[in-house]
Chains A and B, each alone.
Chain A
Amino acid sequence: NAGVTQTPKFRILKIGQSMTLQCAQDMNHNYMYWYRQDPGMGLKLIYYSVGAGITDKGEVPNGYNVSRSTTEDFPLRLELAAPSQTSVYFCASSHGQGTRYTFGSGTRLTVV
């Protein structure tokens, strides 16, 4: 039972480069989320999805894009990396309303 799998675990990007953070879950959860975690700031919601083909913005979507072509996968795209996007990124999923989240182990991204 893999749960939520995130890749890569670590990445260093140069300013202006692009990359995709991968997230996959094998629990058939409808809801998926991307958060970023900055020191002392808790978790901020970037984007979320309530099902395949449906995505919506969270609190801090600028500079990011997502897609949800399948129930299992929810990749996060950074088009033009900026130092402000240096953070730890967590993907999570949940079965439905008011239920527990299952988190991936995170991607630590540094933009230099």
Chain B
Amino acid sequence: GNSVTQMEGPVTLSEEAFLTINCTYTATGYPSLFWYVQYPGEGLQLLLKATKADDKGSNKGFEATYRKETTSFHLEKGSVQVSDSAVYFCALSDNSGGSNYKLTFGKGTLLTVNP
């Protein structure tokens, strides 16, 4: 079956530090990959996505590259801000077969950025 493994949190950084949150996946087909962000007290929002190997998703200074050879989709940001404090979820949808509307989520990584 499909699965997503994220690095364990919580992650605590100082403002302007470099961020990496690791994500690896297992899928039977050729998945699309996503990063969702959940701010305190809110639902999840799509942060970025990539639909095929070597694609790079980017948004709000965050980037992630779809690496098929290492089955990874690590999230990076060069300089984090206090406002980036949130829980980050890696997810995949399996594009083989007829169920690629369903997402499989990782457990989430809590990021706290201190001023």
Q: Which residues of A are at the interface with B, using a C-beta cutoff of 8 A?
A: 4, 31, 33, 40-43, 45, 48, 50, 58, 90, 92, 94, 96-101, 103-106
Contacts and interface: CB of A to CB of B under 8 A. Distances in A.
Residue of B34, B51, B102 contacting most chain A CB atoms (<10 Å): B102
8 contacts: A41-B107, A90-B43, A94-B101, A97-B101, A98-B95, A100-B46, A100-B49, A105-B43
Contacts, number: 51
Nearest to A42: B107
Interface of B: 32, 34, 36, 41-46, 49, 51, 89, 93, 95, 100-103, 105-108
A48 B93 CA distance: 14
Contact of B103 (A4, A96, A101, A106): A101
Could you tell me the dominant secondary structure of chain B's interface residues? loop
Contacts of A103: 43-45
Nearest to A40: B107
A98 to B, nearest CB: 5
Could you tell me the dominant secondary structure of chain A's interface residues? strand
A96 B95 CA distance: 12
Contacts of B42: 105-106
B46 A101 contact: yes
Nearest to B99: A97
Given A50-B101, A97-B100, 5 more contacts: A33-B102, A42-B106, A98-B101, A105-B41, A106-B43
Contacts of A33: 102
Contacts of B89: 42-43
A90 B46 contact: no
A101 B100 CA distance: 12
A31 B103 CA distance: 12
8 nearest interchain CB pairs? A103-B43, A42-B107, A100-B46, A43-B105, A103-B44, A42-B105, A97-B100, A105-B43
B99 to A, nearest CB: 9
Contacts of A40: 107-108
A105 B44 CA distance: 8
